[in-house]
Amino acid sequence: MVNPAATGAIDAMNNPDFATILEPFGEGAEAFFLAASLYHAGKVSFGAAAALSGLGYEEFHYRLKEHFGYGFRVEDDTARDDLSLGVELADPLDILETVQRQSF
């Protein structure tokens, strides 16, 4: 028995409207945009998305920047954790001096 959800996905990929929209992006656009969508949704890693797209790591990164304005997706929690760690590791006086120098 065929899964109706899977059939719907296949029908969407064969939709002539998609073909018209994706045509200017060249061969492989369908795979790239599907892989990029999965990556942006957090469903696959960057490496998995690059492999799914049929592009190499660097080319996938370049095309993400070209079409979405950035190459890597950074989760808010990850960035917050990294910033907190940086503050913990930094000497508070050094931070104050740096801020004061940058103010001029």
The predicted-structure confidence for 55-96, as pLDDT tens digits, reads as follows: 998 999 999 998 887 777 666 665 666 667 677 777 665 655
pLDDT of residue 24: 77
Q: Which tokens in the block code for residue 90?
A: 């930094």
Contact assessment for residue 87 and residue 74, using Cβ atoms and an 8 Å cutoff: no
Residue 42 carries which DSSP code?
T
The predicted-structure confidence for 2-55, as pLDDT tens digits, reads as follows: 444 445 555 556 778 877 877 778 788 888 989 999 988 888 888 899 999 999
**If pLDDT is split at 50, 70 and 90, which confidence band does 1 have?**
very low
* Domains of the chain, residue spans: 1-73, 74-104
pLDDT of residue 75: 65
pLDDT of residue 7: 52
Query: Coil, helix or strand for 13?
Result: helix
